[in-house]
Amino acid sequence: MAARRFATLSSEKIAFALRPGIFSPKEIGEISTVLDKNSKVTRIFIPDIRSGFESLDVVSSILAVTTRVHAGSGVIRLLEHDPALLTRRVQTLQAFSSNRFFLGVGTGAPGPRPGKSVANMLQRLDELKKGFRAFPEGVEPSETYVATLKIGIAKRAVGRTDGLLLNFCSPRHANGLIAAVKPQMVSPIEFACYLKIFYSSQSDENALRLLLQEFLNYDSMPQYHEMFLQDGTAKAISEIKQSDHWNSGSVEVPKELMGISLANPGSEELHQYVQCFRKAGVSLPVIYPYFPAGEKSEFRFETVKRILDVV
């Protein structure tokens, strides 16, 4: 259940994704200061939601109240930003944070020509990094992360970014992608992955329903449906889609989906889940907590602190 105790199990580096809308502005500030004091937390990612707060502005507020942890976007749709203005914003964030900002970028919706969108995004990233080299003394070029789901995108991004950011995938998928790109790496890069974990103080069933709804949401996107097909999870998701009883009655989650995400996990279950991704080659697991609308602020805050004791 949600109130179960967490045991201290690990001291390896970790990151968190704090999504505006799940966490209030006040909570993001308070939680960031807690994460800043924990040496194993190296990064805070702020997802950019179209209808919510602007990611880079939220990052700026985090950098203002922390002194050690790095914070950045996770991710912005690079082609939607004016290159000159974005370069100035990155320079400003770096200068005023002692070089603790990082820039996570992606293409957004792939559109009718996904290959062209990726090529344009990577070209824009190259141009942006040229601008970084003109930063004044003491202001370093920011680290960059490229969101990737497919091996082809990852291979094209290697050598042009400091890290790759995967999302809502299995350890098997992560391992396959990492193994495919490693042979062409000239220097090490970070392999980060969003690990979405669903919590509810009301019941395990509420948390499980959030998890199942997220699978249905992602399965409606062609690029994720293709990944689920390759991963052998598409059939289980299809069966959930055809049955509505989980939305009101008892909730059973197919075992194969629990390798991708968890709901109200206990300490050992959470530890093993994160370790599976580490063993798959993910060098920076990014804990991405979800809560239902109306969840108590105290529960969200305490859950993050308990997670820190485990991962």
pTM: predicted TM-score of the whole model, two decimal places: 0.95
The tally of CA atoms less than 13 A away on the side-chain side of residue 131 is: 17
Q: What is the dihedral of CA 255, 303, 247, 216, to 10 degrees?
A: -60
CB 258 within 8 A of CB 237: no
What range defines the domain where residue 157 resides? 14-205+258-310
Amino acid at residue number 151: I
Structure tokens at 183: 């042979």
CATH number at residue 111: 3.20.20.30
Asked if the structure places residue 152 within a domain, the reply is yes
Q: What is the pLDDT of residue 6?
A: 42
Task: Enumerate residues 6+ apart whose C-beta is below 8 A from 254.
Answer: 233, 236, 239, 240
DSSP 8-state assignment for residue 20: B
Q: Which residues pair with 45 in a beta bridge?
A: 17, 72
Q: Is residue 233 part of a domain?
A: no
For residue 276, being part of any structural domain is answered with: yes
Q: Do the beta carbons of residue 104 and residue 75 sit within 8 Å?
A: yes
Per-residue pLDDT at 247: 78
Rg (CA), the chain: 19
pLDDT (0 to 100) of residue 10? 52
Residue 136 lies in a domain: yes
The reported pLDDT for the residue numbered 9 is: 46
pLDDT recorded at residue 58: 98
Average pLDDT per consecutive 10 residues, the chain (311 residues; last block may be shorter): 43 93 97 98 96 95 99 97 97 98 91 86 97 96 97 96 98 98 96 99 95 96 95 94 80 91 98 98 99 97 97 91
Asked whether 18 and 259 are in contact (CB, 8 A), the reply is no
**Looking at the 3D structure of the chain, how many domains does it have?**
1
Question: What residue type is 44 in one-letter code?
Answer: I
Task: Please check whether residue 215 lies inside any domain of the structure.
Answer: no
| 94 falls within a domain | yes
Burial 12-40 (b: 16+ CB within 10 A, else e): ebbbbbbbbebbeeebbbbbbeebbebee
